[in-house]
């Protein structure tokens, strides 16, 4: 059996081996049929998407890393931000319409500041748009802040709705929008940040974080990989915090009229 | 002789509500006046829009139209939050926030709309609780440990301590025993006697102290004559 090594020392996965990995799905599918889970179709589609999307990504990134053009990097970051915003908006069904703009703004501000702060100040890439660094880092920043923002927005509107009686009382006592919504804003930000804080606390004890795993498999020295991983975890927590706070602060007002009256779920849907 | 303007006046209030795809005029040109000292009792069938009317008067109803004035001053010249500090609504569902009785009573004074207002002292709070039959409730009692009747009185007291001009009460005694309901009646009567005006939605009990009887049905308000005046 021939084992191919990459220049870095990593073992290369051949195409036949990649195809062989599909047998994992056959096992899962067989189990699903046996137990009657009714998810075989979803499983097959999801697996096919995994192959197609990731292979496409591989080819695109290989090309982007080769051509090294600043505007292609910016264009890709823009597309990533739009896709992440769409997912955020979809995951907060109780949110008022028109949330896309403020969610996009939050994602873009977070993505740009955190990504370029890391590449310029910590990794210190020689060229500011170096795609090999900018794109994966932006991907982690956007992906994690997306999760945080989605959780925070979902919690914001569900908590506001569950507190509608209290909000009416507060507003009747003269509270403005912020004073009435404050309790829910706090709950929403906690909901957005807790998963990140938990994963930081568990990193290295419960699991080897994904990026470090990748670097080690690719032949990097574990200690060097650790340094990167620490930077990434702190970066992700900053991104999640900035993204959640921005998006929640921009969004909570939308649950109120200009006169400071809370719009419940039904009214929010018909008002916009 | 100069006649004082009514404390609260409403002209042509209209409120629409979408029901099963049709627009329903819950309030269809409602007009009335409340004068200092009035206790008006609002009755009407369930779903007639009594709560809607209170919300509109407190400027808490999005999309409501019509004219409101407080002591002759048009609502259009008064910020909504400031209006609500003067025309105070107590919603039907008592919503005390978590924390102690004291924290709840002082909550309105922490709001921006009351910047500059002096909050009552601990002694004043204690005296106020004693007056409404809550002598056995300590200021540091957690609101979760109040009975329904006690919570209703604390919520009403919280509004009264802010010294509004007009009090809008949505079935304030709906879930209260007779003793608590009587205490609520005494509190509102005193507020009116001191120059305030009260509009209360009644369902179960009639308020013996009421001097105005209003009836809301089909979007129209009837009554409004002063009883025994």
Q: pLDDT tens-digit profile of A71-98?
A: 999 999 999 999 999 999 988 877 777 7
The minimal CB distance from B18 to the residues A166, A174, A270 is found for: A270
pLDDT category of residue B134 using cuts at 50, 70 and 90: very high
CA A204 from centre of chain: 21
Which of the two residues, B102 and A18, has the higher pLDDT score?
A: B102
User: Alpha-carbon distance A75 to A169, whole Å?
Assistant: 48
Strands in B166-170's sheet, in edge-to-edge order, are: B87-90, B166-170, B197-201, B39-43, B212-217, B220-226
CB contact under 8 A, B162 and A173: yes
In this prediction the ipTM stands at 0.91
Cα separations in angstroms, A236 against A113, A133, A230, A240, B83? 12, 15, 10, 6, 45
The torsion angle over the Cα atoms of residues A228, A233, A236 and A241, rounded to 10 degrees, is -140
H-run or E-run covering A107:
helix A100-117
CATH tag, B8-71+78-226: 3.40.50.300
User: Alpha-carbon distance A92 to A29, whole Å?
Assistant: 31
User: How far does the CA of residue A189 sit from the closest CA of chain B (Å)?
Assistant: 20
pLDDT exceeds cutoff 70 at A170: yes
- pLDDT tens-digit profile of A213-255? 888 888 889 999 999 889 888 999 999 999 999 999 999 999 9
User: Alpha-carbon distance B96 to B83, whole Å?
Assistant: 21
User: Alpha-carbon distance A31 to A25, whole Å?
Assistant: 10
Domain ranges, ordered by start, for chain A: 1-67, 69-271
- pLDDT tens-digit profile of A196-217? 888 888 888 887 788 888 888 8
Which tokens hold the place of B209?
């102290």
Q: Find residue B19's DSSP bridge partners.
A: B22
Residue that the structure tokens 């002292």 belong to: B121
Pick the residue from chain A with its C-alpha nearest to B17: A267
Q: Average pLDDT over chain B, rounded to whole? A: 90
Q: pLDDT at position B163, please? A: 94
Compute the Cα dihedral for A191, A195, A197, A201 and give only its sign.
positive
Residue that the structure tokens 């990794």 belong to: A123
DSSP state of B49: S
Short-list A268, A252, A269, CA closest to A103: A252
CA A180 from centre of chain: 29
The minimal CB distance from B81 to the residues A166, A174, A263 is found for: A174
pLDDT-above-70 percentage for chain A:
98
pLDDT exceeds cutoff 50 at B60: yes
Residues contacting residue A76 through CB under 8 Å, at least 6 positions apart? A64, A135
* Residues recorded for chain B: 229
Residues of A with CB under 8 A from a CB of B: 165-166, 168-176, 179, 257, 259-261, 263, 267, 270-271
Residue that the structure tokens 């609520």 belong to: B184
């Amino acid at each position: 059996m021939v084992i191919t090594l990459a220049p870095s020392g990593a073992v290369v996965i051949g195409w036949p081996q990649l195809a062989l990995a599909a047998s994992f799905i056959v096992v899962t599918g067989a189990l699903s049929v046996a137990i009657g889970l009714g998810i075989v179709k979803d499983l097959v589609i999801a697996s096919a998407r995994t192959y197609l999307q990731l292979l496409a990504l591989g080819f695109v990134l290989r090309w982007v890393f080769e051509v090294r053009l600043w505007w292609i990097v910016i264009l890709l970051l823009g597309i990533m931000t739009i896709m992440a915003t769409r997912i955020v908006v979809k995951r907060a069904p109780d949110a008022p319409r028109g949330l896309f703009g403020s969610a996009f703004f939050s994602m873009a501000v977070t993505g740009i500041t955190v990504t370029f702060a890391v590449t310029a100040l910590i990794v210190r890439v020689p060229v500011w748009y170096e795609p090999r660094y900018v794109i994966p880092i932006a991907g982690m920043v956007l992906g994690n802040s997306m999760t945080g923002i989605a959780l925070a927005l979902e919690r914001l509107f569900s908590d506001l709705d569950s507190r509608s009686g209290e909000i009416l009382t507060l507003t009747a006592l003269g509270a403005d929008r912020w004073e009435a919504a404050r309790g829910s804003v706090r709950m929403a930000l906690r909901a957005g940040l807790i998963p990140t804080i938990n994963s930081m606390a568990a990193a290295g004890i419960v699991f080897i974080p994904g990026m470090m795993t990748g670097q080690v498999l690719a032949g990097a020295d574990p200690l060097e990989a650790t340094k990167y991983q620490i930077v990434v975890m702190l970066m992700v927590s900053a991104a999640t915090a900035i993204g959640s706070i921005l998006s929640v602060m921009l969004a909570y007002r939308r649950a109120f009229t200009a006169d400071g009256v809370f719009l419940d779920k039904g009214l929010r849907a018909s008002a916009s | 002789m100069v006649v004082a303007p009514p404390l609260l006046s409403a002209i042509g209030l209209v409120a629409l509500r979408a029901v099963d795809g049709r627009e329903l005029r819950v309030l269809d040109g409602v007009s009335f006046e409340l004068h200092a000292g009035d206790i008006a009792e609002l009755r009407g069938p369930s779903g007639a829009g009594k709560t809607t009317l209170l919300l509109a008067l407190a400027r808490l109803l999005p999309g409501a139209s019509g004219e409101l004035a407080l002591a002759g001053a048009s609502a259009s010249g008064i910020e909504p939050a400031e209006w609500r500090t003067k025309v105070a609504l107590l919603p039907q569902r008592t919503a005390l926030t978590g924390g102690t009785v004291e924290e709840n009573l002082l909550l309105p004074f922490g709001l921006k709309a009351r910047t500059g207002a002096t909050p009552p002292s601990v002694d004043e709070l204690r005296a106020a609780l004693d007056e409404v039959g809550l002598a056995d409730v300590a200021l540091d009692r957690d609101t979760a440990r109040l009975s329904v009747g006690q919570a209703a009185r604390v919520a009403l007291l919280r509004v009264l301590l802010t010294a509004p001009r007009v009090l809008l009460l949505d079935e304030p005694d709906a879930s209260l025993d007779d003793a608590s309901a009587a205490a609520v009646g005494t509190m509102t009567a005193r507020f009116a006697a001191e120059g305030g005006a009260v509009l209360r939605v009644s369902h179960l009990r009639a308020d013996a102290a009421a001097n105005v009887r209003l009836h809301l049905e089909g979007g129209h308000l009837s009554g409004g004559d002063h009883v025994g005046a």
